[in-house]
């Protein structure tokens, strides 16, 4: 299982993912679920994945191949169904989300017969966010079928994986005018709530912050289990909740 969350506020985007995968009680491993691409001064993209790990990794590999080849839309069309345009040449963020969806469909189509024979699901869900120069920051949730929905002013955050434990704080706190620093804090507390309630989500965490109109990540780091700042945030939040609980008559 996994938990990934993306938040969109006026001041920018925040992304947070765990790294745990679980294929049984005695088969727990760590895999990176956040991937970033930057063209300084022009665009920055962040992708987070949940679901079938083989599908997720194959999708990311296809996207990387398109980026390395610098494939244009016209060239991809000439090369055939499995050829993808480069994410870094997409004219807007929506087209970038469509390209990720195309990769998702292509990977599942390739392995559909064997997956069906073994009664296995190859589904994966992904969150893609970022900003291209000339556009606004945008955030998308991409489904296994390749289609997507977009975060809006009414729904300024998207989650994939084990999302129910971390949703209440986001519902109460996150709005368009939430400062970017507070959005970052809310994402971390949302993850902390999930870590405490579900063993299938685990450290370390990957965090990325993209301020509006900078086209560059202001923060991109891994938070390990012994991170003092995260531990202090978790303890402070626990104490605040207890104080609030006992302060209610």
Alpha helices in 118-179 (DSSP H): 167-173
Of 137, 141, 197, nearest in space to 169 by CA:
197
- The predicted structure's pLDDT at residue 9: 98
Q: For the residues 165-178, what does the mean pLDDT come to?
A: 97
Lowest mean pLDDT among 55-69, 106-120, 212-226, 228-242: 106-120
Q: Are 36 and 17 in contact (CB under 8 A)?
A: no
Q: Which residues contact 87 (CB under 8 A, 6 or more apart)?
A: 37, 45, 63, 66, 67, 96, 99, 100
List, for residues 50-88, the tens digit of each pLDDT value: 998 989 999 999 999 999 998 888 777 776 666 789 999
Lowest model confidence (mean pLDDT) among 93-102, 144-153, 174-183, 191-200: 191-200
The residues, any chain, with a CB within 8 Å of residue 168's CB and separated by 6 or more, are 193
Q: What is the mean pLDDT of residues 92-102?
A: 97
DSSP structure class, residue 76: H
This prediction has a pTM of: 0.93
- Quote the pLDDT of residue 24: 52
What stretches of 111-236 adopt beta strand conformation (E)? 124-132, 138-142, 148-150, 157-161, 205-211, 219-223
What was the pLDDT predicted at 198? 86
CB-CB contact of 18 with 201 (8 Å): yes
Q: Token pair for residue 14?
A: 């925040």
Looking up tokens 């489904």, which residue turns up?
Answer: 143
pLDDT score, position 122:
75
Q: Does residue 130 come out as left (phi exceeding 0), alpha (psi in the -120 to 50 range) or beta? A: left
Nearest CA among 169, 116, 137, 234 for reference residue 5: 169
């Amino acid at each position: 299982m996994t938990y990934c969350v993306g938040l969109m506020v006026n001041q920018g985007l925040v992304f947070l993912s765990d790294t745990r995968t679980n294929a049984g009680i005695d088969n727990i491993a760590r895999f990176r679920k956040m991937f970033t691409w930057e063209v300084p001064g022009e665009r920055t993209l962040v992708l987070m994945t949940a679901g079938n790990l083989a599908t997720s990794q194959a999708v990311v590999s296809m996207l990387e191949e398109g980026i390395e080849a610098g494939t244009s839309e016209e060239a991809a069309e000439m090369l055939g169904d499995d050829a993808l345009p480069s994410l870094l040449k997409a004219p807007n963020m929506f087209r970038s989300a469509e390209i990720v969806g195309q990769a998702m469909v292509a990977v599942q189509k390739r392995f559909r017969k064997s997956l069906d024979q073994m009664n296995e699901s190859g589904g994966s869900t992904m969150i893609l966010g970022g900003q291209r120069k000339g556009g606004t920051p945008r955030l998308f949730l991409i489904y296994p079928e390749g289609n997507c929905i977009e975060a809006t002013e009414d729904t300024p955050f998207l989650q994939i994986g084990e999302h129910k434990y971390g949703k209440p704080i986001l519902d109460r706190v996150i709005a368009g005018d939430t400062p970017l620093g507070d959005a970052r804090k809310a994402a971390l507390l949302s993850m902390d709530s999930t870590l405490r309630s579900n063993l299938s989500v685990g450290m370390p965490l990957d965090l990325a912050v993209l301020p509006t109109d900078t086209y560059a990540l202001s923060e991109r780091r891994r938070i390990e289990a012994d991170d003092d700042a995260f531990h202090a945030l978790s303890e402070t939040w626990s104490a605040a909740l207890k104080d609030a609980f006992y302060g209610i008559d």
